[in-house]
């Protein structure tokens, strides 16, 4: 799985090691961190592209993110695609959660799912919320889910 910085530079380390290094670096600078993980997708012709982001927020001092993109030819209903987005976010959150606990970093999983029932993505809200909360993670949906609806949305090609 290839991860990169927002400027396009690839991460030289496996994601676990890169996240740990970032936490140590930012903590050594005196910043208190919060991490938000989210995924967004776009369908273009026969391709569906997903972008997963790990957003590091420095309390009162901006932030930065790591990005992973992947494409598939699989076709999804809107509900399936929303749940695949959530699954991708949970996968990376689960891989990293021990780090966040060890370094006392708050973490949230953001779902690009609208809380307004007039939107099609809302069909997946209950399942997504149950999935995320059932894994023991904090959950945010639109409009509060900026990691998926803003950050990942900007880097999905």
pLDDT at 122: 86
pLDDT at 121: 81
47-58 and 63-72 beta bridge pairing: antiparallel
Does pLDDT of 35 surpass 90?
A: yes
- Express each pLDDT in 74-122 by its tens digit: 999 999 999 999 999 999 999 999 999 999 999 999 999 988 888 888 8
What is the rounded CA–CA span in Å between residue 149 and residue 41?
A: 10
Does pLDDT of 71 surpass 80?
A: yes
The closest alpha carbon to 4, from 58, 52, 72, belongs to 52
Phi, psi at 25, each rounded to 5°: -60, -50
Does pLDDT of 21 surpass 80?
A: yes
What is the rounded CA–CA span in Å between residue 99 and residue 146?
A: 22
The total number of structural domains in the chain stands at 1
Match 């990942």 to its residue by tokens: 152
Domain that holds residue 18: 4-155
When pLDDT is cut at 50, 70 and 90, the band that residue 41 belongs to is: very high
Query: Are the CB atoms for 142 and 149 separated by under 8 Å?
Result: yes
């Amino acid at each position: 799985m290839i991860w990169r910085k927002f400027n396009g530079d690839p991460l030289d380390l496996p994601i676990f090691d890169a996240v740990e290094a970032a936490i140590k670096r930012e903590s050594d600078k005196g910043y208190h961190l919060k991490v938000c993980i989210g995924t967004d997708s776009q369908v273009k012709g026969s391709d569906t592209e997903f972008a997963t982001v790990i957003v590091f927020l420095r309390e009162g001092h901006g932030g930065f993110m790591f990005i992973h993109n992947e494409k598939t030819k699989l076709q999804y209903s809107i509900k399936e695609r929303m749940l695949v987005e959530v699954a991708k976010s949970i996968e990376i959150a689960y891989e990293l959660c021990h780090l966040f606990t060890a370094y006392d970093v708050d973490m949230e999983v953001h779902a690009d799912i609208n809380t307004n029932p007039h939107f099609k993505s809302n069909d997946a809200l209950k399942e997504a919320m149950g999935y995320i909360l059932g894994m023991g993670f904090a959950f945010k949906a639109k409009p509060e889910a900026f990691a998926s609806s803003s950050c990942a949305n900007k880097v999905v090609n």
